[in-house]
Amino acid sequence: MTSVLTRPIGSTGRTASRRHYLMCPPVHFAVEYAINPWMHPGVPVDRGLALAQWDALRRTYLGLGHRVDLLEPVPGLPDMVYAANGATVAGGVVLGARFRHGERAAEAVAHREWFHAAGFPRVVEPQFVNEGEGDLLVVDPGPGGVVLAGTGFRTDPRAHAEAAAVLGRPVVSLELVDPRYYHLDTAVAVLDAATIAWLPEAFTPASQAVLRERFPDALVADVGDAAVLGLNAVSDGRHVVLPAPATRLAAAIAERGFTPVPVDMSELLKGGGGPKCCTLEVRA
């Protein structure tokens, strides 16, 4: 769903389009194991605060005119709030996820069941490990778009060719090297079809060269803002929803003509996620 919502007044030309998101409330959210450097099981989690922050994010999307559907949370799956990891959707085709860690494996089943129940005609169970939009970022939902595909910590590099075949669009492979940025969506934010924000230090030199060639006007994030998962952002082409502490990134985004929309995700950061991790885009 990409119908135009607003066209900003002025010379920036940034246009928001109506989006369709799938989210899962953190009813069972907890940090019970450590599968990324952000997770510390000994640190207490305030589930009520996590729910409040998640709901504020949901209401932010609704306030921007977007559609939000909900995935039913499953007991025993504390990371299910990070709905972006459960699938990748482009042109109405759903490539399901296959998680690297057993603790999250059942989430993939719940996602596929939701898409089947929602009437999507093609829902593919993958052969290789891919962690959905965590590592597969669709740039331009139109037929000419590409997928930026991360590997290095979670997604199997063989899943990149599988994604290209299933989603029917070129895939650009990128290798991550910093374990803090274990998913591509923690190191790259797709702002619109031609613009990304990114952290070069999170990638191999070869992958840095690929991104610099493809996005010569990319916005380079401040290391401090990336360290609060500032790049784990969601854009509708004009509005960029990002973690509130990423103030320098928000200012830089505004200078490019986008409208930053800060949200507090401090409690959900304890599991290693921000706005994007909690938001799966359903591109029908």
Question: Catalytic residues, which ones?
Answer: 183, 277
> Cα–Cα distance between 114 and 70 in angstroms, integer?
9
SS (H, E, C) 126-153: CCCCECHHHCEEEECCCCCCEEEEEECC
Instruction: Give the residue among 55, 50, 54 at the shortest CA–CA distance from 267.
Output: 50
The span from the CA of 89 to the CA of 23, in Å, is: 14
Instruction: Give CA separation, 100 vs 36, 103, 171, 277, in Å.
Output: 12, 9, 20, 16
- The answer to whether residues 194 and 170 touch, using CB atoms and an 8 Å cutoff, is no
